[in-house]
Structure 1
């Protein structure tokens, strides 16, 4: 299935049905009074997050979603039937934004929770609604209220705890294959990964986290080089970034330090908040470096890169060092998830005081 993370659609709620002006007509009842019912409510449009969906491809081609109008009221005290609501199922992590105002309407973060996008119009009042003790034969009725209409933009940001960042062919897809259940395409040429991949890493019983792999970044992505910045949005919900660096590039003239600095510069150009996220350095493909040269090469890289944070030396192909990396990631993610809830001052017991401030 093709991965689509952006779509623009029109959502239209149904109009409310008109009220009815009718009077009771039966044999031997000359003055039956009003019996016109109210109109039915128009259908609304809801969005629901579904964890079983991972792309917005359904909304790339189905651009208009319109609910039905409510039925009109009828005589004999019959109210119009309300129209059915429309449920739009979207991936968890979808952001719904109003195109005209550029305002974020909602974010779908909870599986199965419905969120109202546009509300259907209420039904009009029939003349039964206007009956009073002084107005026993009302002829007033009102039309139904119109439903809301909006043009919205859908933007998917995947929900992951950890994101992989690095140059093409740095070994990110091999790493996510080695530590999780994801099976992305792996090949020996750049830009093999064309869309984000998610994998669940099982650390132990009831211990797991989600890792995301996005297409590689290259220098000049801000100007549109390569795949540009179009997939960096999927890292904005992560709690930790792993900067994967290839220590054994195919081209001997390529300097891994310069490539790593270029990635960080592109990250800063895209979003300062993403740049400020916790970031760890993962030096990959150590299996291609002679054992007696590994320590010196790692030390030289860290020194020239001027890196002060955590450093992990791994080989995603042979899975050397991956176990320790997984344990460290889980401890960091688990610690970040423990949010201390603040006590609401509205529910704190009030302090007793006496007039004049005297105890």
Structure 2
């Protein structure tokens, strides 16, 4: 299935049905009076989060979604039937924005979350509503109210705890396949990954977190080089970023330090808040280095990068150094999920003792 994370659609709620002007006319009932019913309510448009959907491809081609209008009222006190609502099922993590005003209508963050996108119009009043003691034969009625119609933008941002960031062929897909059951495409050429991949990492019983792998960034991505910044939005909801660096590139003229600095610069250009997220350095492919040179290469890389955060040296292919990394990630994610309760002000300052 093709991965689609953006779509623009037109939605229109149903119009309300018109009211009816009618009078009761039966034999031996000379003063039957008005009996025109109200119109029915128009159908509304709802959005429903569904964890079984992971792409917006259903809305790439189906661009128009209209709910039914309400039925008009009828005589004999019969109200019109309401129009049927329509429900648009979308992936969890979808942001729905009004394209004209730029207002964010809702964010679907939980499974089965239901949000109203366009309200159907109310039905009009029949002449039964206008009967009074002085107006016993009203001939007034009202038309139904129009339903809301708008053009909305759908934007999918995957929900993950940890995001993988790095140059093409740094080993991000190999890492997510080594620590989870995700099976992304892995090959020896750049931009093998063309869309985000999610994997669930199980550290132990009831200890798990979700990792997101996005296509690699290159210098100049802000100007559209490579795949540009298109997929960086999927890292904006993560709690931690892992900066994957190829410590042993095939091309000897490539400097891993300069590549790492270019990635950080592109991240800052795209979104300062994303740049400010906790970011750990993961030096991959240490199995390509002699054992006696690994520690020196890692220290030299950190010194030249002037990095002062957690550093992990691993080999995703050989499964080396993964356990300490996963344990540290789980502790970091768990600490943010279960924050300490706020202190109770009633016990911060004990009441003064009675001087008597």
Which range is displaced more, 316-325 or 127-136?
A: 127-136
Q: Which position in structure 1 is the counterpart of 2:257?
A: 257
- For 1:264, what is the secondary structure of its paired residue? helix
Q: Deviations over 1:153-174 (max 9, x none)?
A: 1010000000000000000000
The yes-or-no answer on 1:98 pairing with 2:119 is: no
Q: How many residues align?
A: 346
- For 2:151, what is the secondary structure of its paired residue? strand
Matched ranges for 1:78-93 at <5 A: 78-93=78-93
Q: Distance in 1 between matches of 2:112 and 2:343?
A: 29
Q: Distance in 1 between matches of 2:41 and 2:208?
A: 46
Q: Deviations over 1:176-222 (max 9, x none)?
A: 00001111000000000000000111112221110000000000000
Quote how far apart the aligned CAs of 1:339 are.
3.3
- For 1:128, what is the secondary structure of its paired residue? helix
Q: Distance in 1 between matches of 2:242 and 2:138?
A: 73
Cα gap change, 1:304 to 1:160, in 2 (>3 Å): same
Q: Which position in structure 1 is the counterpart of 2:153?
A: 153
Q: Which position in structure 2 is the counterpart of 1:269?
A: 269
- For 2:234, what is the secondary structure of its paired residue? helix
Q: Which position in structure 1 is the counterpart of 2:354?
A: none
Q: Distance in 2 between matches of 1:208 and 1:135?
A: 71
Q: Distance in 1 between matches of 2:333 and 2:291?
A: 32
Q: Which position in structure 2 is the counterpart of 1:136?
A: 136
Matched ranges for 1:168-207 at <5 A: 168-207=168-207
Quote how far apart the aligned CAs of 1:307 are.
0.7
Q: Which position in structure 2 is the counterpart of 1:352?
A: none
Q: Which position in structure 1 is the counterpart of 2:109?
A: 109
Q: Which position in structure 2 is the counterpart of 1:356?
A: none
Quote how far apart the aligned CAs of 1:30 are.
1.2
Q: Which position in structure 1 is the counterpart of 2:318?
A: 318
Matched ranges for 1:299-338 at <5 A: 299-338=299-338
Q: Which position in structure 1 is the counterpart of 2:349?
A: none
Q: Distance in 2 between matches of 1:58 and 1:341?
A: 42
Q: Which position in structure 2 is the counterpart of 1:248?
A: 248
Q: Which position in structure 1 is the counterpart of 2:24?
A: 24
Q: Which position in structure 1 is the counterpart of 2:54?
A: 54
The yes-or-no answer on 1:213 pairing with 2:213 is: yes
Quote how far apart the aligned CAs of 1:133 are.
2.3
Q: Deviations over 1:17-66 (max 9, x none)?
A: 00001001111101101111000000000001111100000000000000
Q: Which position in structure 2 is the counterpart of 1:353?
A: none
- For 1:47, what is the secondary structure of its paired residue? strand
Q: Distance in 2 between matches of 1:114 and 1:20?
A: 34
Q: Distance in 1 between matches of 2:261 and 2:308?
A: 14
Structure 1: runs of 5 or more not aligned: 350-359
Quote how far apart the aligned CAs of 1:343 are.
8.4
Q: Distance in 1 between matches of 2:126 and 2:139?
A: 9
Matched ranges for 1:334-349 at <5 A: 334-340=334-340
Quote how far apart the aligned CAs of 1:138 are.
1.2
Structure 2: runs of 5 or more not aligned: 347-356
Q: Which position in structure 1 is the counterpart of 2:37?
A: 37
Q: Deviations over 1:218-243 (max 9, x none)?
A: 00000100000000000000000000
Q: Distance in 2 between matches of 1:14 and 1:106?
A: 21
Q: Distance in 1 between matches of 2:144 and 2:85?
A: 17
Normalising to structure 2: TM-score of the pair? 0.95
